[in-house]
Structure 1
């Protein structure tokens, strides 16, 4: 039996040993990777903790306090009413014959001109009858005067004095007084008839505009029947309402002084058109709805008929206009934007260390745009106008630039800094 050579056997054993070592190394590498992965996963994450950066103080707007003369911007709305109007009525009965030429609604009429005429034939007859009665009474008085003179002569020829009562009867003094009274009665009747005849023609009591003709021509009218509606156009009133505290800033007109100037405007007028008025008086009753004070503003030449007012817009009765009152200024007031006033009449100040300070103030006037402060602030202090979420006494703040604005009187002045 032939055996393989020794070299072949040795080569076989070497290949067999190499094949067994490879898988073992692979298993060892896999096991080591799994152990390493388990160790990495089991370790907690490490976060490097750093101190939080300090937050910047809030950025605010501020204005610098500067006392000066100031007045509130007072405005309201009012309705135009007539200062004087009349419903002209007939004072006698009769038939309305005609209105005078040009007596139409919207037309001007002068004082004393005829406006309407009633049928006056019956009134003329009454006047003639009254004149005849007066003539008869005057004739009777003349006759009685002659009788009294005759009785006086007879009494003197009698040569004897009588008691006063009997002497008055002898001298016909009662008859003479009766005749005189009859003359006076007849003269009064004549004057009344003449006046009624004159009243048959209706005349304008003053210069005005015809608002309406209340009856047609040919109508039968009685005493007191209204014929025309006349409005005085020399001056209109505007009745407006303001809060009661606003009256302290206004002055009403007197016999020697003028009232507060009022500028009137309306949306129906051309842009920029205004009319000038004067505060006339304050009514004693409050407005029913808002319990506000009621004011009367007088406007001269409301229809712009005068030469100096030609081209100005005309006020019409019943129109609603805006009124801007030129209130009287007061010295040493501080005007601030409305946003600067906090609840409870308090303001926030920015001190020299750029920290917030609270301060109570005395407010004279406040509206939607600004407030007027009388006490509580001194010149040069800075008032914060920006809102803050959680304001606290002494909290640090900052402004965009040093506050160099002057005290705000006009609310459209820009404050220092900008809100962000």
Structure 2
């Protein structure tokens, strides 16, 4: 009996101990929950990003178009023998690269055959003149006799026929003298312009047949540059170039620059015309720039074949503003800075785009500010600090 009672007590103790532990733990949990610290949350103010700003000022702007090309002669000709003969004299300028002035004698042929031909033609002219004078006097005499009925109509017609033949012979003799004179003059080859020899193919003592090529010459007072332009670039020039292919009242100014003789040189030129056709291969339109002042302010002659950069003065367009290329985002928008120094996206119209700048024609107003700093991550309304 006692053993049974003690077993029950032991079982009760084993049951009460876990329950007491659970109850104590529950009390501690309730106490901790009711006395937990209160967390205070604060909103951190965003840190403004430092940017550089550009004040917008819409104004008329002079446009320009850039291109590049090689200098070429405007006038290039082949010197050809118009008469045959032996070369008896060659100018020292008649060598590849040689300079000459207009009117210089470049080459002489033996003139003796042509001098003889001229003398014979002049003698024939004198004979024809005498025959013509005699025929004219004879015709006048026959006419007088015919008027007095002392000569027949047949005699008068014969006299008039002989006069007509004499007049024709005189004209033929005069033409022969002119031809002989021209042939003699052609034994002297004079320069048709101020220029330079590109190539020559003649030696002293050489016999030249008629039509033989002597040299290739080009004019150094008038050079040209053939420049490629995209058809869209014509919109930046005077409208006459797109409408007619020719300059308007005044050809556009062009500045040519190149590194030459160890220094940067420049020459002034004029845009004369377009070639009209768009290349099917490159899709470019070529324009012709002429240089008439081939000697620049430094005394440097513009050489043929030089590769030059060209800047063409275009038309003036109102209400444009130039902004750095970095200010323009890929979607053709800019970041406008309001009075509270917050950024706002603004879509704009790009009139012209270059490597470093963009001309904006619509979307901005004078007095506004835009960010020109290249920002990677931007959100609408983001605060900024404008720096100088």
Does the 8 Å contact 2:63/2:314 carry over to 1?
yes
Map of 1:139 onto structure 2: 130
Counterpart CA distance in 2 for 1:64 and 1:303 is 43
Shift in alpha-carbon separation, 1:199–1:82, aligned structure 2, 3 A: same
1:192 aligns with 2:179: yes
> Shift of residue 289 of structure 1?
4.5
Map of 2:383 onto structure 1: 398
Secondary structure of residue in 2 paired with 1:265? strand
1:56 aligns with 2:41: no
Counterpart CA distance in 1 for 2:366 and 2:137 is 102
Q: How does 1:9-408 map to 2 (within 5 A)?
A: 54=44, 56=46, 59=49, 61=51, 62-72=53-63, 74-158=65-149, 168-169=156-157, 172-251=159-238, 258-287=250-279, 289-304=281-296, 309=297, 311-387=298-374, 389=376, 391-392=378-379, 395-401=380-386
Secondary structure of residue in 2 paired with 1:400? strand
Counterpart CA distance in 2 for 1:227 and 1:155 is 63
Secondary structure of residue in 2 paired with 1:126? helix
* 276-285 or 361-370, larger mean C-alpha shift: 276-285
Shift in alpha-carbon separation, 1:329–1:144, aligned structure 2, 3 A: closer
Counterpart CA distance in 2 for 1:261 and 1:142 is 64
Q: Deviations over 1:95-144 (max 9, x none)?
A: 22221354444343232232111122222232233223323333333343
Counterpart CA distance in 2 for 1:348 and 1:290 is 37
> Shift of residue 283 of structure 1?
2.8
Q: Deviations over 1:176-214 (max 9, x none)?
A: 101110111122112211211111111112222333322
> Shift of residue 328 of structure 1?
4.2
Q: Deviations over 1:32-91 (max 9, x none)?
A: xxxxxxxxxxxxxxxx98869747367263433222333445322121011222222111
* 58-67 or 328-337, larger mean C-alpha shift: 58-67
Counterpart CA distance in 2 for 1:188 and 1:270 is 59
Counterpart CA distance in 1 for 2:385 and 2:247 is 55
Gaps of 5+ in 2: 1-37
Shift in alpha-carbon separation, 1:203–1:302, aligned structure 2, 3 A: same
Gaps of 5+ in 1: 1-47, 402-415
> Shift of residue 256 of structure 1?
9.0
> Shift of residue 368 of structure 1?
1.4
Counterpart CA distance in 2 for 1:272 and 1:145 is 76
Does the 8 Å contact 1:137/1:179 carry over to 2?
yes
Query: Structure 1 or 2: larger strand share?
Result: 2
> Shift of residue 233 of structure 1?
1.8
Does the 8 Å contact 1:281/1:297 carry over to 2?
yes
> Shift of residue 246 of structure 1?
3.0
Counterpart CA distance in 1 for 2:329 and 2:178 is 78
TM-score, reference length from structure 2: 0.76
Counterpart CA distance in 2 for 1:199 and 1:55 is 95
> Shift of residue 384 of structure 1?
3.3
Map of 1:10 onto structure 2: none
> Shift of residue 317 of structure 1?
0.7
Counterpart CA distance in 1 for 2:295 and 2:42 is 74
TM-score, reference length from structure 1: 0.71
* 60-69 or 79-88, larger mean C-alpha shift: 60-69
RMSD (CA atoms): 3.4
Q: Number of paired residues?
A: 348
